[in-house]
Amino acid sequence: MAAGIPGIHHVTCITGDVQKCVNFYVGVLGLRFIKKSINQDLPDTYHIYFGDYLGTPGTAMTFFGWPTWPKRRTGTGQVTTVSFAVPRGSLDFWANRLKKVGVEHKKVRRFDVDALVLRDTDGIELELVGESSDERFVPWKEAPVAQENAIRGFHSVTMTLAETAATFSLLTSTMGFRQAGKEGSRTRFETGAGGPHSVLDVVESPEGPEGEESIGTVHHVAWRTENAASQISWRELLLRAGRNVTPVIDRWYFKSIYFREPGGVLFEIATDGPGFTVDESPEKLGTTLSLPPWFQVRRDRLDEILPPIVVPTTATTGAH
């Protein structure tokens, strides 16, 4: 039996405009730009990472920058909402901040917790959920949002599925998730110690529409595993459960395996280490184009073709 999954590792989405994306996640949401790298499978495109000060697993929101891709629709077979954890008393601050910068939002209440629903610059649905823990949060002292209100990493992800039975079975029988609640068509699961960072909501939507991988959609969600050995155990267990799992792939910042859950959502299981400080010191994170050693030979060409990214600073994004 593989060791249990403690929670979310990272979430990866597709943006059509890297600069606007950076302006939003750093300038508006106050996350740190922690890594500028490339998509290892399409290495002439960016893979950019936001997170807490170190990009601690459980805080890293990442994007493939694919400007030439179409913009289609979100729907079944996808993660349709990414939820961030914010301190319970901070929702008024966030509502005011979003209003000030012209980001539409509305308040919802789920499982007795208040949240704000908004969209990012590519149309990805986000939530700021007023339920947080500091357990996986290393504060960034220069953040454009004061620490008392800052995003604490992920709260949860929501998947929308046409059919849920096989997914529920995989989650609970193989992956160690437990059902934690139900509200209408939404079923909540938790893993590990439960609470923020460990929550997965599944919304059943038999009528669709089916989502299409495109700009403004979530590409995959990665779940944490402790180390390379526990990852191998997961791979064997998932293969035995009939999943088509990739070999272990070295992503340089962590090692990864990928498979689709029965509802069509791409899952990754990623190791906690070595982390984003493998090639940049904590204070320098995100300041250079970071390339795994096996891509270094392409550096000159990549510097030429990848558009520059300007990371906003506190000074350009206004008061707390």
Residues forming the site for Zn ion (CB under 5 A): 12, 222, 268
- Whichever of 37 and 149 has its CB closer to Zn ion, that residue is 37
Which residues are CB-neighbours of 282 under 8 A, at least 6 positions away?
Answer: 53, 54
- Whichever of 94 and 252 has its CB closer to Zn ion, that residue is 252
CB of 56 to Zn ion, least distance (A): 15
- Whichever of 208 and 274 has its CB closer to Zn ion, that residue is 274
Which residues are CB-neighbours of 97 under 8 A, at least 6 positions away?
Answer: 28, 145
Q: How far is CA 2 from CA 8, 102, 287, in A?
A: 16, 46, 37
- Nearest partner of 163 among 133, 127, 114, 204, judged by Cα: 204
CB of 194 to Zn ion, least distance (A): 23
CB of 271 to Zn ion, least distance (A): 12
Distance CA 232, CA 5 (A): 13
- Whichever of 37 and 230 has its CB closer to Zn ion, that residue is 37
SS3 of 42-67:
CCCCEEEEEECCCCCCCCEEEEEECC
- Whichever of 120 and 131 has its CB closer to Zn ion, that residue is 120
CB of 222 to Zn ion, least distance (A): 4
CB of 266 to Zn ion, least distance (A): 9
Radius of gyration of the chain (CA): 19
Distance CA 204, CA 266 (A): 17
- With contact defined as beta carbons under 8 Å apart, do 181 and 188 qualify? yes
CB of 62 to Zn ion, least distance (A): 7
- With contact defined as beta carbons under 8 Å apart, do 98 and 190 qualify? no
- Whichever of 120 and 268 has its CB closer to Zn ion, that residue is 268
CB of 251 to Zn ion, least distance (A): 7
- Whichever of 12 and 15 has its CB closer to Zn ion, that residue is 12
- Whichever of 171 and 222 has its CB closer to Zn ion, that residue is 222
- Nearest partner of 272 among 157, 194, 192, 159, judged by Cα: 192
Q: What angle do CA 35, 119, 93 make, to 5 degrees?
A: 85
CB of 254 to Zn ion, least distance (A): 8
Q: How far is CA 245 from CA 2, 87, 124, 222, in A?
A: 15, 37, 27, 14
